[in-house]
Structure 1
């Protein structure tokens, strides 16, 4: 592989002939400063303020969900989603091994035990075929209509697929399987803000969906997260427990259940609102970048991650699929040595010390991808 040519090409794309090129840098070119200063002038910088409400309204409108609840980050959003879906300590939750660790950690925070089921090579997301195969072998509905793992005897309380790098997985098929086995579906849509499957925004195919606004995401406010749902009762409960489960009162401190201090601060929400205003521009720019990469790499026989039929991806991170682990490592070494930041896809969750004893299906595709996928610089260029 011509690593020097690739390095030069990426430098030309970002108009950076020398120096460091990050994997994904934030872009603040809108109303960020003005909105943040307004929160300072108002003195409402914590979890109460107009920008928190505005952020939730914008997220609901953007995703097409009826309700959105703001949280301090994506992991807390997914943790609350596990609780809202009914996950109890000792329950099992099906997810994918090829994901950022926060997916598995949020399951653990709720007391759940992850089960890792394989992904599809083309979407990098949970495979409906692998999910069905696992449930046909291990799942059974009891007299109460709950899905029980015949191998462990534990309840399978939820399924959490993740839309990797903003590419929608085959979520309708996954949702149908979850419905058949009466398993609540919670989408980890952390990376897929602005991505659609059959014109429906990710996060809307199950009981709940969650998003992240971390510093490296398409839209960022430094941290930040959100839950979306179309269930009014779940939405009310989500907001209640995210604000320490405090019963509204002019002066009394009364709480009716264990709650969490997970509400997004107003000053952070102000930054998020300014970023959300620019989302269409960001995605247009990122789709153009993806097209540039595809034209370059495909003429050189290198596979580029692309959106599937019936989907529209945000192309949060562009990725290459190399031929082997050795080629992957050489690629990463060369480009990072030349200050062009590139990263491998994550180590599989079942290989991490804390999750090594979790039940797994066959992970052939996840293992294959782990050895070959790299991310290349994907920042918005404006």
Structure 2
């Protein structure tokens, strides 16, 4: 790949000679008006009409039973895991190639991850690798509980992440999860607006988590959302995220350990305005992905396209380089030219807080991708 040509190509897309970020937010509509409304009303905290409005908009968009807004995506995943019944000392299966928040949410509960390989087609949890690991390392006990053969610990859930907005192989994963009596919890932090067989990601598992960090498709500054496929779970999510306070006009009574995880009205106001342009953002991101795909068509790098039967949001566009040396040259030359690119995450098994836990399957694809994947500028292009 001619990095000079690539740098110029990116600058032409964004019509800028200045620094090109990896992904910056766009505020094209009513953001200031709605945020100012919360300030004028003084309802800037977790009590306010925009919180409920944002939840309803997301519930309708994703077509789920309930959507509960939280302060960030990690908090949403933490609550989702609790709703799924994950408990201290449980084992939870996830991918080694993920953002650290996936595992951090597990650690809050005191659960331990089992790291399974990803698929090169989706960059997400591989159903075949999952089935192979369970066949070799797990069994179903007399009570119908999935347990690790050596430690006898309960394996309670599977947490795939839709990497960069590309859906995992959900049909196959659901089959394995059902066979082994596990609960599917989707880490959908990156996949707002992504679909698997015309169904929105985050609605296949019992619960899931979205993120609205400043670098996501839409943003609330910081924020997340728990998507529930059960009305009662949604009610419980609302209860847990509001310090488990029983409703009362003036008394303070809390019936269990809860969390101060509710999204403030000020952030929700920003989210409501962003939702009004979500369709435009997704359309422009697909157009950008098509431009990149054409640019890289005859090069030695591979552009990461949406998997079969999927419609990806192309949150972060990515390329796969020939090897680590090739990757490093691209990273160096683009960043020197003030065109921001980034490698994929360091594998969780290499981080000090998780490398000693030791439970993982074969991670050949994860290691292969770690050495080759580069994210390239993916902000929504502005009109000329």
TM (normalized to structure 2)? 0.98
Shift of 1:301: 3.3
Partner of 1:15: 15
Shift of 1:155: 0.4
Give the distance between the partners of 1:353 and 1:230, measured in 2 at CA: 35
Query: Which 10-residue stretch deviates more, 80-89 or 111-120?
Result: 80-89
Partner of 2:211: 212
RMSD: 0.8
Query: Which 10-residue stretch deviates more, 137-146 or 203-212?
Result: 137-146
Would the aligned equivalents of 2:76 and 2:209 in 1 still touch at CA under 8 Å?
A: yes
Shift of 1:302: 2.1
Query: How many residues are matched?
Result: 381
Shift of 1:365: 0.3
SS at 2:6 equivalent: helix
Q: After superposition, give the CA deviation of every residue in 1:293-330 in whole Å (9 maximum; x if it has no partner).
A: 00011122321000011100000000010000000011
Partner of 1:352: 351
Partner of 1:183: 182
Would the aligned equivalents of 2:300 and 2:321 in 1 still touch at CA under 8 Å?
A: no
SS at 2:259 equivalent: coil
Give the distance between the partners of 1:187 and 1:277, measured in 2 at CA: 25
Give the distance between the partners of 2:129 and 2:222, measured in 1 at CA: 33
Structure 2 stretches lacking a partner, 5+ long: none
Partner of 1:3: 3
Shift of 1:229: 1.1
Q: After superposition, give the CA deviation of every residue in 1:44-83 in whole Å (9 maximum; x if it has no partner).
A: 1111111000011011100010110110000000011111
SS at 1:238 equivalent: helix
Partner of 1:317: 316
Partner of 1:84: 83
Q: Give 1:364-375 correspondences, 5 Å limit.
A: 364-375=364-375
Give the distance between the partners of 1:262 and 1:166, measured in 2 at CA: 24
Structure 1 stretches lacking a partner, 5+ long: none
Give the distance between the partners of 2:193 and 2:111, measured in 1 at CA: 29
Query: Which 10-residue stretch deviates more, 344-353 or 82-91?
Result: 82-91
Would the aligned equivalents of 1:172 and 1:205 in 2 still touch at CA under 8 Å?
A: no
Give the distance between the partners of 1:152 and 1:239, measured in 2 at CA: 35
TM (normalized to structure 1)? 0.99
Give the distance between the partners of 1:13 and 1:252, measured in 2 at CA: 57
Q: After superposition, give the CA deviation of every residue in 1:202-250 in whole Å (9 maximum; x if it has no partner).
A: 0011110110000000100111100111211211111001000001111
Shift of 1:146: 1.2
Q: After superposition, give the CA deviation of every residue in 1:90-124 in whole Å (9 maximum; x if it has no partner).
A: 11100000110000110111111011000000100
Would the aligned equivalents of 2:69 and 2:223 in 1 still touch at CA under 8 Å?
A: yes
Shift of 1:151: 2.2
Give the distance between the partners of 2:173 and 2:154, measured in 1 at CA: 18
Q: After superposition, give the CA deviation of every residue in 1:152-175 in whole Å (9 maximum; x if it has no partner).
A: 211011110000000001012111
Would the aligned equivalents of 1:77 and 1:226 in 2 still touch at CA under 8 Å?
A: yes
Would the aligned equivalents of 2:341 and 2:377 in 1 still touch at CA under 8 Å?
A: yes
Give the distance between the partners of 1:62 and 1:220, measured in 2 at CA: 15
Shift of 1:357: 2.0
